[in-house]
Amino acid sequence: MSVSVEPLGLAGVQLVSPVVHGDQRGFFLERFRASEYAQHGIGPFVQDNHSRSVRGVLRGLHWQLPPMAQGKLVSVLQGSILDVAVDLRHDADSFGRWVSAVLDDVSFRQLWLPPGFAHGFVVLSERADVLYKTTAEYAPELERGFAWHDPDVAIAWGEDAPQVSKRDAMLPRLRDLTESDLFTKASAS
């Protein structure tokens, strides 16, 4: 096995730690191997996305609805982020709960978010390059989001005044969304 997988307390959300081989020359790791990740219910993937952001930038919280709901495998190529998943399955006991993990270019850990979860991150380093694989292609008509600073969800971002896009600054609170903007346990699987 070239990875170990740790559940993070929300159904299907997992922290993935690859085996890193390092010496005086640098390091080598398998960032992804389809057959191994599939054993943990991760994938298959159809699109890669790459973003570069500076310290204090917050991107999120976003998701796509079925039939283009996206599972995401998030990793950091350079820098450090706090990565967050929020349960959007309105019929789950954990609806509205969140988990987070620091992802960086030192531990090489990855976060797997299956469909049914909102995703967002804030940059902790001077700059961060974030790469994430998705299980469905981008479909803007099915994209949704909710406010990063929603007091009902109360995510501990560790950043009081992050830089957000104009679009993200206008997102509604989670409680203002309708069930058609969310998932059920069945629609997320």
Is 62 among the residues known to form the active site?
yes
Mean of pLDDT values over 12-24: 94
Q: Is the pLDDT of residue 1 over 80?
A: no
Residue in 62, 119, 138, 149 annotated catalytic: 62
We report the CATH number of the domain holding residue 124 as: 2.60.120.10
Count, residues in the chain: 189
pTM: 0.95
Any catalytic annotation for residue 40?
Answer: no
Nearest to 136 by CA among 78, 49, 53: 49
Q: What does the pLDDT look like over 39-55, one tens digit per residue?
A: 999 999 999 999 999 99
> pLDDT digit string (tens) for 57-72?
999 999 999 999 999 9
Choose, from 37, 90, 119, 132, the residue flagged as catalytic. Answer: 132
The number of folded domains in the chain is 1
Q: Give residue 11's domain range.
A: 3-188
Please give the order of strands across the beta sheet that includes 127-134.
Answer: 3-7, 14-18, 110-113, 72-78, 127-134, 47-54
Average pLDDT, the chain: 96
